[in-house]
Structure 1
Amino acid sequence: MRLRYKPWAKDYIAEHPEYVVSDPKQWRGKWGDRFEKEQPIHIEVGMGKGKFLVEMAQKNPTINFIGVEIQESIIVLALEKVIAEKLPNIQLLHLNGSDLKEDFEPGEVDRIYLNFSDPWPKKRHTKRRLTYKTFLETYQDILSPDGYLQLKTDNQGLFEYSLVSLSEFKATLMDVSLDLHALNDPDNVTTEYEEKFSAKGNRIYRLRATLH
């Protein structure tokens, strides 16, 4: 996702330490203290503008959600939504997804969402795909024994790659949907990209997998 540079983003983020964590390492192993209540933790890696994260938090008040995003110009758009809704069960991290092991203890996370991640289609960029084995190793480390990974994408190449990568990782596939919207799943919360691509007639793929 490319957005116009926002020179005010850094200051806006700094003005809201109640929602944006500036030093996530200090909360490793005690993320429950950042929230109003100690509850299961779900994280979205690459949260975009925050639609999915905010709606999930609204629908699931007994779960604490953490959104991870590397681009300041995007994280501020999610922050605006969080502030408007005054949600006590959301925190945001300005962080690269590859650093998660340094910021969460083993077993501290109950679910990880990868929504419409960059497919990095060129072979030389394989290691950047969020379902490459090094990322899977990180997810495996921070997920609880009963936790799982969920991926949604409209990119068939990334989906097929992820199925192979998970298989080679010896993950257990819990659910594979080749046309998610045809299921009319009432629990499916959409993202901005999901609505855009679906409106164009693109098929939406989803998988869920345990990594232990």
Structure 2
Amino acid sequence: MRLRKKWWARPEMEQAALCITNPRDFKGKWKEEFKNNNPIHLELGCGRGGFISKKADVNRDINYVAVDLKDEVLIYALKKVEELELTNIRIVPLNIAFIAELFEKDEIEKIYINFCNPWPKDRHNKRRLTHTKFLNEYKKFLKPGSEIWFKTDDTDLFKASQDYFKEAGFSIEYLNYDLHNSGFDKNIVTEYEAKFTSMGMKTMFLIGKLL
């Protein structure tokens, strides 16, 4: 669905202390930005921020960086964070293709990828956020032993991603084709997930661990 341009969003984001519009300047300095030594987790494709704001709210001892491309959705993520008065999260507008430019080696301890674009055509597969190409980029800043938590409702993407993780040197620590009926108790439901679960969609989930 095409998003209607919100011309007011970027100026408002630039004025917000919790939105980082020059994230490359913080490479290697994210702990200074958060003013503590807590672990830093990253969500790639945060959308309207429902997932990451809930995560940050219940885990105040963890810092979060939430990345997405569109100001039109990030402005809503920012408003959620501000309403909850969260200080342990930063909102970052960025094309994820450049994510490795934001962090130093070992600076991130966990990544969340929720319902990313499946890019079903073969010629577009390398755009998948779980493709080997991207996973190798994430390895540039992930600490050894770090995890990537990945959810999708696309079976082809899920099956292919299992191969991508193995090719990139990750072990698959957990794998489930029906997360909501699995007994897994650490899931936080995204806005997309809530909507389509009510329509009978099954959520697939895996945890990949960097060896």
**1 CA distance for matches of 2:185 and 2:161?**
25
Deviation per CA, 1:156-197: give whole Å up to 9, x if none: 111011012112223211110111000243321110111112
Letter in 1 for 2:162: L
Letter in 1 for 2:134: F
Gaps of 5+ in 2: none
Letter in 1 for 2:112: Y
**2 CA distance for matches of 1:61 and 1:91?**
13
Deviation per CA, 1:86-135: give whole Å up to 9, x if none: 10100011111121211100111000000000111111111111111210
* 1:24 corresponding residue in structure 2: 23
CA contact (8 A) 2:145 2:210 kept: no
TM-superposed CA distance for 1:82, in Å, is 0.8
CA contact (8 A) 1:36 1:88 kept: no
Gaps of 5+ in 1: none
CA contact (8 A) 1:65 1:90 kept: yes
**2 CA distance for matches of 1:4 and 1:67?**
21
Letter in 2 for 1:167: K
* 1:97 corresponding residue in structure 2: 96
* 1:182 corresponding residue in structure 2: 181
CA contact (8 A) 2:112 2:149 kept: yes
Letter in 2 for 1:7: W
**2 CA distance for matches of 1:144 and 1:79?**
27
* 1:87 corresponding residue in structure 2: 86
Q: TM-score, normalised by structure 1?
A: 0.95
* 2:172 corresponding residue in structure 1: 173
Letter in 1 for 2:206: L
* 1:192 corresponding residue in structure 2: 191
Q: Matched residue of 1:21: which SS? A: coil
Deviation per CA, 1:28-83: give whole Å up to 9, x if none: 11101111432100000000100000000011111001100111111101011111
**1 CA distance for matches of 2:183 and 2:197?**
13
CA contact (8 A) 1:154 1:197 kept: no
CA contact (8 A) 1:40 1:110 kept: yes
TM-superposed CA distance for 1:204, in Å, is 0.4
CA contact (8 A) 1:42 1:110 kept: yes
Map 1:1-212 → 2, pairs under 5 A = 2-16=2-16, 18-212=17-211
CA contact (8 A) 1:9 1:72 kept: yes
CA-based RMSD: 1.2
The number of residues matched between the two structures is 211
Q: TM-score, normalised by structure 2?
A: 0.96
Letter in 2 for 1:42: H
- The range that moved more, 181-190 or 68-77, is 181-190
Letter in 2 for 1:13: M
**1 CA distance for matches of 2:33 and 2:48?**
22
